């Protein structure tokens, strides 16, 4: 008890020492998702999403370690605590919301179909399920094909070829193993930009919103990220990034 305080037996809590703990979050990405997340010439992860989280981390006072990994297992890795967030052009959808939480949307994308430059396929052929098509395993592109072409019986199941990442699908397209490949428009544009044997046939409007995925119980991180996204999207740096990664 301290003299002068009310109640003779009152215990006064004493803060002995304040320790500042460095918080570090591990960010899972697909390293083959330019311009959002990819590996640069020197082997370092970079891209629109990677630079976004580095900026947010700096403003909000935490450290990040960016970890490239297989897209197909990225949500299980998040749930298992191997990574703390997925920041890699992940579309917010119902199926994923059953397993993880998402930040507010920071981008909207559609799907694009790529074909060989000398191909005679039309977008109508594609939408009618008449071609052998490639997509990334576990992507919304693969899901679009399953829902709109396979389940409707427009296309036989075997006409969908799944790949671990999109560049592998493009390689098979160039080698004539498949006739078309589907993926998010900004990524298709980026990946085929330097190629003259592959072109974009057209786009299919899906209005997919990208968000950062976190574990369901990680409410604190979710709030921090939403706050960080607000700050970033209101900052001139946001437009710089959009320009740098040719996303405008």
* Least distance between ligand ARG and beta carbon 9 (Å): 60
Residues that bind ligand ARG (CB under 6 A): 30, 33, 37, 71, 88-91, 139-140, 184, 208
Residue 49 or 218: which CB sits closer to ligand ARG? 49
Whose Cβ is closer to ligand ARG: residue 89's or residue 119's?
A: 89
Residue 33 or 126 having the CB closest to ligand ARG: 33
| Least distance in angstroms from the C-beta of 58 to ligand ARG | 22
DSSP assignment string, the chain: --TTSSSTT----------PPPPEEEEEE-TEETTTEEE-TTS-EESHHHHHHHHHHHHHT-EEEEEE--GGGHHHHHHTTS-SEE-SSPBP-HHHHTTEEE----EEEEEEEEEETT----HHHHHTT-S-EEEETTSHHHHHHIIIIITTTSS-GGGEEEESSHHHHHHHHHTTS-SEEEEEHHHHHHHHTT-SSEEEEEEEEEEEEE--EEETT-HHHHHHHHHHHHHHHTSHHHHHHHHHTT--
Q: Which is nearer to ligand ARG, 32 or 218 (CB)?
A: 32
Nearer to ligand ARG, 119 or 139 (CB): 139
Strand partners, 56: none
Q: Give the nearest distance from C-beta 7 to ligand ARG in angstroms.
A: 59
The least CB distance from residue 210 to ligand ARG, in Å, is 6
- Least spacing, CB of residue 124 vs ligand ARG, in Å: 24
How far is CA 49 from each of CA 16, 35, 211, 218, rounded to the nearest angstrom? Answer: 40, 8, 10, 20
Output the residue with the shortest Cβ distance to ligand ARG.
30
Q: Which is nearer to ligand ARG, 73 or 202 (CB)?
A: 73
CB 140 to ligand ARG: min, Å = 4
């Amino acid at each position: 008890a301290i003299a002068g305080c009310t109640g003779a037996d009152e215990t006064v809590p004493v803060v002995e020492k304040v320790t500042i703990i460095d918080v570090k979050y591990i960010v899972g990405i697909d390293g083959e998702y330019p311009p959002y997340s990819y590996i640069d010439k020197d082997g370092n992860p970079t891209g629109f999403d990677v630079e976004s989280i580095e900026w947010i981390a700096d403003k909000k006072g935490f450290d990040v370690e960016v970890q490239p990994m297989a897209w197909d297992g990225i949500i299980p890795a998040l749930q298992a605590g191997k990574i703390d967030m997925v920041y890699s052009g992940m579309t917010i959808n119902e199926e994923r919301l059953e397993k993880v939480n998402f930040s507010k949307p920071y981008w909207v994308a559609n799907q694009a179909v790529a074909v060989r430059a000398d191909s005679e396929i039309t977008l109508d052929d594609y939408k009618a399920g008449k071609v052998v098509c490639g997509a990334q395993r576990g992507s919304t592109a693969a899901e679009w094909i399953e829902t709109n072409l396979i389940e409707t019986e427009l296309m036989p199941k075997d006409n969908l070829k799944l790949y671990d990442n999109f560049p592998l699908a493009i390689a098979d397209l160039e080698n004539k193993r498949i006739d078309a490949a589907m993926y998010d428009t900004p990524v298709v544009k980026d990946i085929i930009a330097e190629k003259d044997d592959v072109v974009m046939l057209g786009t299919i409007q899906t209005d997919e919103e990208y968000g950062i995925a976190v574990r369901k119980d990680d409410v604190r991180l979710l709030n921090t990220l939403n706050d960080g996204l607000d700050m970033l999207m209101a900052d001139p740096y946001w437009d710089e990034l959009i320009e740098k990664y040719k996303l405008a």
